[in-house]
Structure 1
């Protein structure tokens, strides 16, 4: 399992004593909570502490950002994603997570738990009981109050003498003003005043340092002095002093923004996760803020450290988002922005669905993954305000989610949308299909068949040709996974109709062609299946389509294996793996690894076969259904595994398999794709 600690985009200053203390806590407690007010640097310290502790945890360090979550509905899904669990079973996510972590020696980091304290407390009580070698590091503005919890309070940076606060401010000032002379006595005096006024709070210092791009340091110190003299007599004496200081510093930074930057700051608070410039423009433009001015204001907010960049995407710290949300309420725009946010993601879903069959397919899988938390936020809003649009959006992204391991969310959201909108419609028919795919991949073949038939009836009633093809694909795939290739072939033939036929006319037609190839292979008609798969793959390559192409490679690999061409089989299996890794399909990766292992064993390399099988087993465990739904592979897999054992002996095979199953899968996959195994 690979570690997922966030990268640091800026330098780290000080905190040596805190890091030593946390390092000691990690050896004596299984739950350590870093507490302190917003903006004090808990997340940055947790990143450093987690990275320093990596070697202690052979199963890795798994990081879960909880700051985007609006409630506890996606808590389990977020933690499952963090630990690499893409469960395809019908178990509850909690049961699957406990089972997955039971034998793991890993460090789980939950960042920003303060708004989910009760839910995190309940979850961690279960996880720490079920997984005796699990260690958890939490950041929160308050402790979780669990038995055995070690609490480390994170305070501001020292700001007197030769101090870390001054070092941090100077570092950030130097980023804002290249060529800054920090040894100038006038700079030092003003900078020390700023650090003292801001009480060493890192976020406040970063915001102040960014302002040097617009004002000299002496002017910033003077403004702060005036502002804090006013603060001494404010009307919020009940607010803790450091909270008041940070609030004052954020407010001061807000005042130094242009009017359009302030407006954008407020409107951007509607996003729960990261976002790109196009999304910001579509959701936040309006009134005096045009889409072009949104891009200018994004640059301004980034320069002032209100936003941070993560590649082409932007992120706003939750403390700053909270402030923006307050202003959004003052502007009386919260409801309107929530509507616009949801409308944008409905359109996003439509574009993703249209883009599935083409050169942007892989890019759309990544965009859907990046927007996951905001898609869920939009669906939650629409389920209350516009159920028919919730149905449309859930249907549009359900297949993406099912392919990328978000089966529980796909099933939950589509089912809720269907329950809220019972009238017949084309969106409902598509949603029935999306739900059918999700339940099928969870192993509920009976329910999938029922949904396929219901979808087929609705498609006929609507005279919807594409829905009829999608329904046929679902029904045929259900027959295949139940081990009935003849029935699957008959269904595919019926919905496709007589030739000539154009596979790339629509996604449904393309999928039906694919399932027919699977059925031909299952029926032992290898020559016919090979010819169809080769032709379909050629069309996918011309159009830049990856999902179907990966499964044609799967079929060509399997057929080559049956026809005693192991080198060719291995080549196609690797091509499948590359495509599946590109869209994050763990189920497909596990299938491909099993097939590659069989091909490697068939060519006589028992040691490599054992390692590939072991890696496949590790990924199957994250899916929860070892070798399910592939009856055509079971016999050849067993035969090739026996051949590998004979080649190197049972003991050597078992040891190579064990080592690979415990190694980090990302490392082994990279070697496999490079042709080293």
Structure 2
């Protein structure tokens, strides 16, 4: 047969069409798998096992699957890899159409017709005619890069789904097609290690982004591999690039000799991540071109909103976006719709935190938005609005810290940590804003301690103090917080000059509250210097003034410090009395943090009286309360005391391990400075000596070293593992306050828990949301120091309510 007379699928279709005898079924029978045109992969495919598995599952249940995500995240590669993996399930083959190269809906229809070898008389009559011509086809159609023609793609896809019963469609787009029955798989960046996670070469390559970088880098730098010298920088680079495959590819291929230089140059990512290769699709030649194409697809108001959102350094919720980014050209009522538009357009990424949706701009999108905001002349305006929102948040958290909302506020501040840090940085960048920055850093005083970030808090406060004049009220508050953090870190040489200046500022201002807090700081300084009688005098004065002013923060802190000073001075009776008062007050207010410290002080007094078992139980309860925070200072105190009780029980190895964990906790608190527990240094040395006598120096060294390497969860397991298998006992020092632990609503929830009800059943019974029930349950467990619902039932039974 000559080439001219060879019968092709296209010629057969035309012959049948010309004869007027074809039916949709007849046309479909001429389609063959070998006519599919799957583009070959030019480079290896790295990672995405989870996404591929999920995509195959979705495609088996849905006829339309859309991959969404930011530009360069790898939607096309993933769609093509999926098509290659499932092509055997489609007898009539797989067809791929690159929509990015098409100008309008007509061109799209022609391209799909050409992919299936349809005659022009079908393609020129629009989507319906194409769908009718393919009615019997059992094939998979991949529509790649639908971004600029989403409406036309949606119209064509709808026609195909209605008419071609055995066709499945995979689309890639930065936004949804919006067709009924569409299933969506959001493609995010490749996996990267968390910022605070230690990395080693072998473990780093288990993450997809570093693995991709290593492979692509080796292609232009033979012999390159991730090793101990460069693994940390590779992790930083991959995080900075959000794990985005395109950005990683462009960075890896830059002819820069070291990874450190790559990280440094990635600061100007729009110029750095670019290529002049003409064979690369234009929108992929530079990061700026890629993001600009996304920006142009947004409505004018969404563009404005995108620029404003760039003041958030990372995550934010809807309420924050409304508060910070509305006004002027963006009405507050529009914010939800604009967030939805940006999420649907893969500009904003959404995730859930504690059951609530949060959003973030990928770093490249954020930097692009900041450029736009600066070009509009609005950057400083919205940075200030962001700072004011953070300041309002910190003020409310500080006011409600000694209440039942304490855990809720801690979780909220923890989720907003990067926002708070950015707001402080902005404020301290210029002297004009320093007062607000100092107030913000000072208002976070309790949070700095409870989150284990004393060093960060001090750095912020030190910067603020260099900018603030004296004797302004913001400076006094900053001095107070800086003094407390320095003393708690054991940095007496820095803390005492701060304290002296703070006392002078408080008296110069004539502020009774600040004068009371200055006396309290003096008491803390005396404890750190082991002058417990002077501490008692200062703290008694502070407590009386706090009570007169109705300062709950001050009252609880003074009681804790008084109980601590009494315990360390060997006055057990006074320590137990003051500690029990603090516990009762804390339980009545529904807070847990101060209570945890008070229980440690009571436990210390009990241990000194020879009641090691009771002390152990009470301090374990204290650790249970501490674990809701990240307070290494408080946990370290508990570890030190538990080491003493372990020695008393003849458990030398356990004591050594606890002492090692206590040393590690101290180092986390002090950031390398002197011991945070210097006031009990002598007792610690005696405990270590007793443990060595029990197990020998060699075994002690091994166990101590093992203790220093324990993670937070491992420390908790070491302290609580055995105790969690026993019902909780309430010590007489705290049990008389139990009647005031729970609010009336929490009592109601507790009774329903005791009946064996789930959160959903409780929500239905009380006509409240499941989220509210979950919050009540968390507060109940925290207040009672429990870890399971069964313990709540037992507690009610003991109190006569079960």
TM-score (norm 1): 0.64
Question: Does the CA-based 8 Å contact 2:46-2:208 persist in structure 1?
Answer: no
Question: Does the CA-based 8 Å contact 1:61-1:107 persist in structure 2?
Answer: no
Q: Mark the CA change 1:433 to 1:110 in structure 2 (over 3 Å): closer, same or farther.
A: farther
Matches within 5 A, 1:194-205: none
Question: Does the CA-based 8 Å contact 1:466-1:506 persist in structure 2?
Answer: no
Q: Is residue 365 of structure 1 aligned with residue 410 of structure 2?
A: yes
Question: Does the CA-based 8 Å contact 2:256-2:262 persist in structure 1?
Answer: no
Q: Is residue 555 of structure 1 aligned with residue 601 of structure 2?
A: yes
Which moved further from structure 2: 648-657 or 334-343? 648-657
CA distance in 2, matches of 1:108, 1:527: 52
Q: Is residue 564 of structure 1 aligned with residue 709 of structure 2?
A: no
Question: Does the CA-based 8 Å contact 2:563-2:602 persist in structure 1?
Answer: no
CA distance in 2, matches of 1:274, 1:588: 29
Tell me the CA shift for residue 336 of structure 1.
1.7
Question: Does the CA-based 8 Å contact 1:64-1:109 persist in structure 2?
Answer: no
CA distance in 2, matches of 1:595, 1:548: 18
The gaps in structure 1 that reach 5 residues or longer are 1-12, 21-36, 66-103, 118-136, 153-202, 204-231
Tell me the CA shift for residue 355 of structure 1.
2.3
Tell me the CA shift for residue 480 of structure 1.
0.6
Q: Is residue 596 of structure 1 aligned with residue 642 of structure 2?
A: yes
Q: Mark the CA change 1:318 to 1:531 in structure 2 (over 3 Å): closer, same or farther.
A: same
The answer for the alignment partner of 2:487 in structure 1 is 440
SS of the equivalent of 1:460 reads helix
The answer for the alignment partner of 1:346 in structure 2 is 391
The answer for the alignment partner of 2:105 in structure 1 is none
Q: Is residue 460 of structure 1 aligned with residue 605 of structure 2?
A: no
Q: Mark the CA change 1:107 to 1:336 in structure 2 (over 3 Å): closer, same or farther.
A: same
Q: Mark the CA change 1:502 to 1:670 in structure 2 (over 3 Å): closer, same or farther.
A: farther
Which moved further from structure 2: 53-62 or 354-363? 53-62
CA distance in 2, matches of 1:138, 1:573: 53
The answer for the alignment partner of 2:573 in structure 1 is 527
CA distance in 2, matches of 1:354, 1:150: 46
Q: Is residue 318 of structure 1 aligned with residue 363 of structure 2?
A: yes
Tell me the CA shift for residue 476 of structure 1.
0.9
SS of the equivalent of 1:332 reads coil
Question: Does the CA-based 8 Å contact 1:15-1:45 persist in structure 2?
Answer: no
CA distance in 2, matches of 1:503, 1:552: 22
Question: Does the CA-based 8 Å contact 1:439-1:448 persist in structure 2?
Answer: yes
CA distance in 2, matches of 1:310, 1:410: 28
The gaps in structure 2 that reach 5 residues or longer are 1-40, 49-69, 75-186, 211-227, 242-247, 264-272, 725-802
Question: Does the CA-based 8 Å contact 2:448-2:457 persist in structure 1?
Answer: yes
SS of the equivalent of 1:358 reads coil
Question: Does the CA-based 8 Å contact 2:528-2:679 persist in structure 1?
Answer: no
The answer for the alignment partner of 2:657 in structure 1 is 611
CA distance in 1, matches of 2:205, 2:607: 36
Match of 1:299 among 317, 327, 340: 340
Matches within 5 A, 1:283-432: 283-312=324-353, 313-383=358-428, 384=430, 385-432=432-479
Match of 2:232 among 81, 97, 108: 108
Question: Does the CA-based 8 Å contact 2:489-2:669 persist in structure 1?
Answer: no
Q: Is residue 262 of structure 1 aligned with residue 262 of structure 2?
A: no
CA distance in 1, matches of 2:666, 2:229: 19
Tell me the CA shift for residue 18 of structure 1.
5.4
* Greater relative contact order (Cα < 8 A, sep 6+): 1
CA distance in 2, matches of 1:247, 1:330: 16
TM-score (norm 2): 0.55
Deviations 1:244-270 (A, max 9, x none): 565455444434444443332121011
Question: Does the CA-based 8 Å contact 2:321-2:335 persist in structure 1?
Answer: yes
Tell me the CA shift for residue 356 of structure 1.
2.2
CA distance in 1, matches of 2:364, 2:204: 32
Q: Mark the CA change 1:353 to 1:673 in structure 2 (over 3 Å): closer, same or farther.
A: same
Tell me the CA shift for residue 388 of structure 1.
2.5
CA distance in 2, matches of 1:513, 1:144: 63
Deviations 1:530-561 (A, max 9, x none): 11101211211221222311210210121121
Tell me the CA shift for residue 17 of structure 1.
5.8
Question: Does the CA-based 8 Å contact 1:54-1:60 persist in structure 2?
Answer: no
Tell me the CA shift for residue 49 of structure 1.
13
The answer for the alignment partner of 2:588 in structure 1 is 542
Question: Does the CA-based 8 Å contact 2:310-2:369 persist in structure 1?
Answer: yes
SS of the equivalent of 1:275 reads coil
CA distance in 2, matches of 1:601, 1:14: 65
Question: Does the CA-based 8 Å contact 2:560-2:601 persist in structure 1?
Answer: no
SS of the equivalent of 1:300 reads helix
Tell me the CA shift for residue 479 of structure 1.
1.0
Q: Mark the CA change 1:39 to 1:661 in structure 2 (over 3 Å): closer, same or farther.
A: same
Question: Does the CA-based 8 Å contact 1:19-1:45 persist in structure 2?
Answer: yes
Tell me the CA shift for residue 286 of structure 1.
1.1
Deviations 1:220-245 (A, max 9, x none): xxxxxxxxxxxx9xxx99x9945556
The answer for the alignment partner of 1:220 in structure 2 is none
SS of the equivalent of 2:628 reads helix
Match of 2:543 among 496, 505, 509: 496
Matches within 5 A, 1:565-644: 565-624=611-670, 628-630=675-677, 633-644=680-691
Q: Mark the CA change 1:660 to 1:629 in structure 2 (over 3 Å): closer, same or farther.
A: closer
CA distance in 1, matches of 2:209, 2:633: 22
CA distance in 2, matches of 1:388, 1:287: 27
The answer for the alignment partner of 1:475 in structure 2 is 522
SS of the equivalent of 1:417 reads helix
Tell me the CA shift for residue 40 of structure 1.
5.6
Tell me the CA shift for residue 382 of structure 1.
2.4
Q: Is residue 272 of structure 1 aligned with residue 313 of structure 2?
A: yes
Tell me the CA shift for residue 109 of structure 1.
5.8
Tell me the CA shift for residue 364 of structure 1.
2.9
Tell me the CA shift for residue 400 of structure 1.
2.6
Q: Mark the CA change 1:627 to 1:638 in structure 2 (over 3 Å): closer, same or farther.
A: farther
- The structure number with the bigger radius of gyration is 2
Deviations 1:317-353 (A, max 9, x none): 1121133223324543223212211221222222222
Deviations 1:549-587 (A, max 9, x none): 121021012112111112222222223323333221222
Tell me the CA shift for residue 411 of structure 1.
2.7
Matches within 5 A, 1:159-170: none
Question: Does the CA-based 8 Å contact 1:271-1:374 persist in structure 2?
Answer: yes
Tell me the CA shift for residue 631 of structure 1.
5.4
Deviations 1:431-477 (A, max 9, x none): 11112123223433244223223322322333322212221121111
CA distance in 2, matches of 1:668, 1:344: 36
Question: Does the CA-based 8 Å contact 1:593-1:612 persist in structure 2?
Answer: yes
Question: Does the CA-based 8 Å contact 1:414-1:431 persist in structure 2?
Answer: yes
The answer for the alignment partner of 1:155 in structure 2 is none
Question: Does the CA-based 8 Å contact 2:454-2:489 persist in structure 1?
Answer: yes
The answer for the alignment partner of 1:122 in structure 2 is none
Which moved further from structure 2: 247-256 or 53-62? 53-62
Matches within 5 A, 1:648-663: 648-663=695-710
Q: Mark the CA change 1:395 to 1:240 in structure 2 (over 3 Å): closer, same or farther.
A: farther
SS of the equivalent of 1:539 reads helix
